[in-house]
Structure 1
Amino acid sequence: MASYHTHSISLPSTSHPITTQFDQQLTRLRSSQAASTCSSSLLTYRLTCLTELYVVVDDMLQLPSSKQSLSQIQTVLDGSLRLLDACSTSRDVLQQSKEHLQDIQSVLRRRCSGAVVN
């Protein structure tokens, strides 16, 4: 009988309070969009919702887990940029090699056809 190893992912049973606040603020903002009229009090309410949503997002970004995730993403992006630089350099070297090869082929064709090479 074959033995298989399985891994389980433990997810938190409850959401982080900031996540709950985010969901609530987003729901408030979306529900205000359903209003058919556009009064100054509604605009004020929407701006208040946006301001509170902004504060919650800022709080989310300050969480240690968010900072760690952003740091890991930054590391991946830095690696990707280095890889793109290496690919660009490789492309340039290959292009130069291709040009030199074409020059060599041209010289060889001239020699084979009996033309004088300088």
Structure 2
Amino acid sequence: LGGQFHLPHGLANALLLTTVIRFNAGVPRAAKRYARLAKACGFCPAEANDIAAINALIQQIELLKQRCALPSLAVALKEGRSNFSARIPAMVQAALADVTLRTNPRPASAEEIRELLEELL
């Protein structure tokens, strides 16, 4: 997002964070870590199952974004939906070329990255 739309890195991360958490939680090891984080932060009861804990984590992140008055993706981009859609192939290629993708808990294919970006719309 930042490279295509000149958004500050932290804002781009914040806009993507909950989408990426949902995606990565598809891997049991990552799901356990997200659940442990939610419980450690007191976002859910210690006995909550992983799905409930992850949902609580996502909800708290969304609340924090609201409290910080972060803009929605549409407002942050200041561009129409069609312009975002047109740039998805370039964003997919940039993500695949980014060395940090190798450290993500869940491998992501070009198709999965495209789907994640389309979800943001």
What is the TM-score of this pair, normalised by structure 1? 0.29
Of structures 1 and 2, the one scoring higher in RCO (CA 8 A, sep 6+) is: 2
Give the structure with higher Rg (CA): 1
